[in-house]
Chains A and B, each alone.
Chain A
């Protein structure tokens, strides 16, 4: 199955539903502190996983390849407090260089 317009519609409606829930649907009710905290922590956990999979994932296995160099350079750039453009461009350049050389 490949990505198509119906998939986009589902994602767009789902995203909007999440946005409208707190703003409108819940009224002035408050969520419990535990739920609010969990919602705030979800991105951190997912970003951690997304980094691992997008840097090392290869179908159903984990590999070290040119992307590893890109991630290392991105880590260095983030540590040096480089801005977003520098982080992303440096990562792509490092990966492209390693690929060209190997």
Chain B
């Protein structure tokens, strides 16, 4: 049976709930890194891309400068250009709607919209996915930030280990493809090589070269899509 709008809404809400838990962990580690609760909440409202937020906070937590943190975050956000192109046909032509839609353009809404075989459902899947994740992500962040702010020494609780664990979980979907695995290993190798003498943040930004190497050296298995992680 083909999915109905109701199925799409249900999937969006389930997805939102899962992402909300991710938001809690971001709130906890971000306050642990020394950011204020309002700052952490504003992060989730205005930046609204989990991977970018985690990367930025991680670079700050490791002693990187704000510039290095911003550069790492934006480099990670560059994939949204591809998402926007993938969704170009599926969203309404209205300029105002697109300006609004851009804020809700994330991994999850892109994945939900592009997964619909019926184009009529794609737009609804985008909005429901984006809005559901937006609400849950921000509630999660607020909860996590309030909780994190009341915790003692983040080191005692092992909160610094949340970063590598979260990045590992985020990396897993990319490992299904050979070029993704190559890029991940190349990025890790670059960070290993530079990590012992360059300022924090620099190894992360330079690791982007790993993607260039993967694109050059590994033959594309199937046509690249704007597919979400």
Residues of A at the B interface (CB closer than 8 Å) are 1-5, 7-8, 10-12, 14-16, 18-24, 26, 28, 30-31, 33-34, 36-57, 59-62, 66-67, 69-71, 74-75, 77-78, 83-85, 87-88, 90-97, 99-100
Contacts of A33 in B (CB 8 A): 220, 223-224
Q: Which of B105, B161, B209 contacts A74 (CB 8 A)?
A: B161
Asked whether, in the complex, the Cβ of A23 is within 8 Å of the Cβ of B87, the reply is: yes
A102 to B188, CA, bound (A): 28
**Contacts A18-B80, A51-B171 given: A44-B187 contact, CB under 8 Å?**
yes
Asked whether any CB of chain A lies closer than 8 Å to the CB of B120, the reply is: no
Contacts of A75 in B (CB 8 A): 168
The digit string for B63-81, where 1 denotes a CB below 8 A from any CB of A, is 1011101101111111111
Asked whether, in the complex, the Cβ of A46 is within 8 Å of the Cβ of B72, the reply is: yes
Asked whether any CB of chain A lies closer than 8 Å to the CB of B3, the reply is: no
A48 to B165, CA, bound (A): 12
A67 to B175, CA, bound (A): 23
Do most interface residues of chain A lie in helix, strand or loop, or is the interface mixed? helix
Asked whether, in the complex, the Cβ of A92 is within 8 Å of the Cβ of B84, the reply is: no
Contacts of A34 in B (CB 8 A): 215
Question: Could you tell me which residues of chain B, from 5 to 42, have a CB within 8 Å of some CB in chain A?
Answer: 18, 21-22, 25, 34-35, 39, 42
Asked whether, in the complex, the Cβ of A92 is within 8 Å of the Cβ of B76, the reply is: no
Asked whether, in the complex, the Cβ of A71 is within 8 Å of the Cβ of B165, the reply is: yes
Contacts of A54 in B (CB 8 A): 58, 61-62, 160, 163-164, 167
Asked whether, in the complex, the Cβ of A41 is within 8 Å of the Cβ of B180, the reply is: yes
A27 to B107, CA, bound (A): 21
